[in-house]
Amino acid sequence: MKIKSFGLVLMVAVMAVALSGCGCFYQQMKGETPAPAAPAAKAVSPEAKTAMPVTKAAPAAPMVGLNDINFDFDKYNIRANDAEILKKDYEWMMANPGKKIKIEGNCDERGTVEYNLVLGQKRADATKNFLVNLGADGKSIGTVSYGKERPLCAEHNEACWAKNRRAHFVPAQ
């Protein structure tokens, strides 16, 4: 009897140590996976550091003539006033055949990374589908979701969050 109890206690102890030492266990409990790690930095000599220009990747410029639309909290349906904006965007697309665009779906900071990536994609797809239903060429429109990773406004209030819940138009590359 002692051997069975000892084996059970030992097994429970091993499992507890294994799970408590794994940070991914706690991350999984929250329902969120961590973002991918940044690539390792390369070693650069001090002389080379002074010679290299420092540049940051700028976000893609908006398409001139196309206007972003916004969404209600936790929604991806096109509102009536945004439908009017998209009709004008459609007119621009018809006047500029051959131009390829990308629609970026964005969310506010609330919610998990995964949830916001899915919601952002639904927003981008809903915007594309609206334009395609008007007659736009679906092959010239790409979609991507940035979830909550590219906020337009960094404040933590409803007015700011409303600005971040958007579909943004950029030139496709």
CATH of the domain at 162: 3.30.1330.60
Tokens of 148: 């909550």
Q: How many domains does the chain have?
A: 2
Residue 40 lies in a domain: no
pLDDT of 5 reads 65
User: 163 and 81 in one domain?
Assistant: yes
User: 82 and 162 in one domain?
Assistant: yes
166-171 and 69-70 strand pairing: antiparallel
User: 99 and 145 in one domain?
Assistant: yes
User: 73 and 7 in one domain?
Assistant: no
pLDDT per position in the chain (173 positions), as tens? Answer: 566 666 666 666 655 555 444 443 333 434 444 434 434 444 444 444 444 343 334 444 455 679 999 999 999 999 999 999 999 999 999 999 889 999 999 999 999 999 999 999 999 999 999 999 999 999 999 999 999 999 999 999 999 999 999 999 998 86
Decide: pTM greater than 0.85.
no
Residue 101 lies in a domain: yes
Residue 16 lies in a domain: yes
User: 153 and 75 in one domain?
Assistant: yes
Asked if 69 and 38 touch (Cβ cutoff 8 Å), the reply is no
User: 17 and 86 in one domain?
Assistant: no
**Which domain covers residue 16, as residue numbers?**
1-32
User: 167 and 116 in one domain?
Assistant: yes
User: 161 and 103 in one domain?
Assistant: yes
| Measured distance CA(39)–CA(129) in Å, rounded | 36
pLDDT of 83 reads 96
Residue 46 lies in a domain: no
State the Cα torsion 111-112-117-121 to the nearest 10°: -40
